[in-house]
Amino acid sequence: MKTKRKTYDALLKPMQRELVHVQQWQQATGTRIVILLEGRDAAGKGGVINAMANTLNPRACRVVALPKPSDRERTQWYFQRYVAELPAAGEIVLFDRSWYNRAGVEKVMGYCSDAEYQRFLVQAPAFEKMLVDDGVLLFKYWLAVDQAKQELRFAERAADPLKRWKLSPVDLAARSRYGDYGNAREAMFRSTHSAHAPWWVVDFNDQRRGRLNLIRHFLDHLPSHSSPEPALELEPLPAPPQLEHYEGSVRPIEDRFTDINGNGNAE
């Protein structure tokens, strides 16, 4: 049964408050956090990112969704452009797809050579070990969705002009390669699931339930994140200053609207 909006909102709000406390703890301690969100097209990556990020200070919370690499970037070390997006002290970075593009879409769609793919499977665990050894808290989530549910979401996007931009030619081509993507995912898990950077699989057939489970998991697997100093109690704002009044200097907002002939209050 799909999670109802009222239930979802009631469960999400306290976790969002806890996320704010996590950010305060991060900024006090200099902790760096990286969250990788991977999954099939239409799994729900954008929704969970919004649920996590929309109450946080954007100066210390960044969402990274890199476009396809440029000609110059294709000649760089594969991880190079991702390194530039890693967090500084007190920051959290959420990757809407990540370096694991190479193990998924690039592998299945033939955008990389087999040698590049095999090199990635060897280098990714070592790269992540360096991040973790340097103190980065790394979380890797796979958002699992069934083929029937994915097809339903594709159809909804195609029918909604406000969501159709989410359907790319690559997404449409991937529909006929569902099995290939599944095989690539299993090979990725075998090579890159490790004690220092494990994969966590979250059921996202019900997106609201999936968001709640993922955020709860993230919060439960952080170190103790109580702020070292008690939060300041908020005092009520003082009364506003007396505003000076300039007669005739400001017109009512409705008077500002005119039609192409200069007539006011055009509907």
pLDDT tens per residue, range 8-48: 999 999 999 999 999 999 999 999 999 999 998 889 999 99
- Would you say residue 15 lies in a domain? yes
**What is the layout of strands, in order, in the sheet containing 61-64?**
61-64, 92-96, 33-39, 137-144, 199-203
What value does the mean pLDDT take over residues 91-96?
98
Q: How far apart are CA 261 and CA 267, in angstroms?
A: 13
Residues in the chain: 267
pLDDT of residue 173: 75
- Would you say residue 225 lies in a domain? no
Confidence of residue 265 (pLDDT cuts 50, 70, 90): low
Query: In one letter, which amino acid is 12?
Result: L
More confident residue, 94 or 153: 94
Q: How far apart are CA 219 and CA 31, in angstroms?
A: 14
Instruction: Read off the pLDDT of residues 180-221 as tens digits, 9 standing for 90 and up.
Output: 999 999 999 999 999 999 999 999 999 999 999 999 999 999
- Would you say residue 261 lies in a domain? no
pTM: 0.82
Number of domains in the chain: 1
Contact between 91 and 32 under an 8 Å Cβ cutoff? The reply is yes
pLDDT of residue 233: 55
Q: How far apart are CA 74 and CA 76, in angstroms?
A: 6
CATH no. for residue 12? 3.40.50.300
- Would you say residue 214 lies in a domain? yes
What value does the mean pLDDT take over residues 63-69?
95
Confidence of residue 234 (pLDDT cuts 50, 70, 90): low
Element (H, E) at 188: helix 178-192
Confidence of residue 240 (pLDDT cuts 50, 70, 90): low
- Would you say residue 234 lies in a domain? no
Whether the per-residue pLDDT at 135 is higher than 90: the answer is yes
pLDDT of residue 176: 80
- Would you say residue 32 lies in a domain? yes
Host domain of residue 49: 5-220
**CA distance readout (Å), 215 to 95, 129, 196, 203:** 15, 23, 20, 13
Confidence of residue 254 (pLDDT cuts 50, 70, 90): low
- Percent of the chain at pLDDT > 70 equals 85
pLDDT of residue 184: 96
- Would you say residue 128 lies in a domain? yes
- Would you say residue 252 lies in a domain? no
Q: Is 46 exposed, middle or buried (0-12, 13-18, 19+ CB in 10 A)?
A: middle
Residue closest to 178 by CA, chosen among 148, 199, 158 = 148
